[in-house]
Amino acid sequence: MARPAGRRTEILETFIRHVAEQGYERTNLGDIAKELDMSKGTIVHHFGTKAQMLRELEENYMKHELDAVRSLWEQLDKPQERIAAIVFASTLLQVVARDATVASQREVVQLSDDPAMQEVRKLRRELQRMTEDELRRGIEEGTFRPVDVEVVTLQLWGSVQWMFVWFQPGRRHTPEEIGSTFVDILLGGLLVDRFGLAPLADPNGEIATVVRETFEAHAAQ
């Protein structure tokens, strides 16, 4: 008998929500099976193990994030614009892909030594490399002050990837407003000339708009 269409996707989406809400260790395949009115064996048939589901979650999320950054790179050329776009994208993901973002960032160290997570680590390194390249380009062009690009990259990603702990969508601030604050502080410390900082950090400005429209276009595909 043919499997119900989309059943595998439904299982994975439910798993992602459980991980986002209570963490990987407390997520139980039996609970997911009960919620979806299926046997635990059906989940195992589709995915094998809970660890494999986590690997798929992480890999899909990182590919989605990299695709978005590459699309932004096609629309924005200056290093300061690209760094600002990374920040706005990271904050907007807290809303447009909330469960996957929280689940991925909450469990970033899970299975870090697992050989099967090699692809995920490769994708993360690529995202860091792209960030480092823009920082180096900005320094070479005289836009950014000389800094340790590896440390600044870790500061950038470390700060935005823990945002899920305290940022709750729908409350006082929009993701663009949160992104604006991050851009103001980060680029404020990097730019040689701060004259152009305000447009880069504007929550209603060009960079924030390009980021939002890029995510809307990806969601429509």
- pLDDT, position 221: 65
3 or 9, higher pLDDT:
9
Query: Taking Cα atoms as reference points, which of 82, 74, 211, 97 lies closest to residue 136?
Result: 82
Please report the pLDDT score of residue 110 as a whole number.
62
The first and second tokens of residue 107, run together, are: 């469990």
- For the cut 70, the answer to whether the pLDDT of residue 194 exceeds it is yes
109-168 confidence digits (pLDDT tens): 665 667 777 888 888 899 999 999 999 999 999 999 999 999 999 999 988 888 888 888
pLDDT value at residue 6: 76
Query: What pLDDT was estimated at residue 81?
Result: 97
pLDDT band at 219 (very low <50, low <70, confident <90, very high): confident
Asked if residues 168 and 91 have their Cβ atoms less than 8 Å apart, the reply is no
Delineate the domains of the chain, giving CATH numbers in brackets: 1-48 (1.10.10.60), 57-220 (1.10.357.10)
Helix orientation angle between 206-220 and 175-190, rounded to the nearest 10 degrees: 130
List C-alpha distances in Å: 174 to 185, 187, 191, 218. 17, 20, 25, 20
* Amino acid occupying residue 79: P
Residue 107: what pLDDT?
76
Q: Which helix (H) or strand (E) holds 161?
A: none
14-50 tens-digit pLDDT: 999 999 999 899 999 999 999 999 999 999 989 988 8
Q: Assign 210 a pLDDT band (cuts: 50, 70, 90).
A: very high
pLDDT above 50 (res 2): no
pLDDT at 5: 47
Q: What is the rounded distance in angstroms from the CA atom of residue 15 to the CA atom of residue 56?
A: 11
State the chain's mean pLDDT as an integer.
89
| 115, 163, 50, 110 alpha-carbon torsion, rounded to 10° | 30
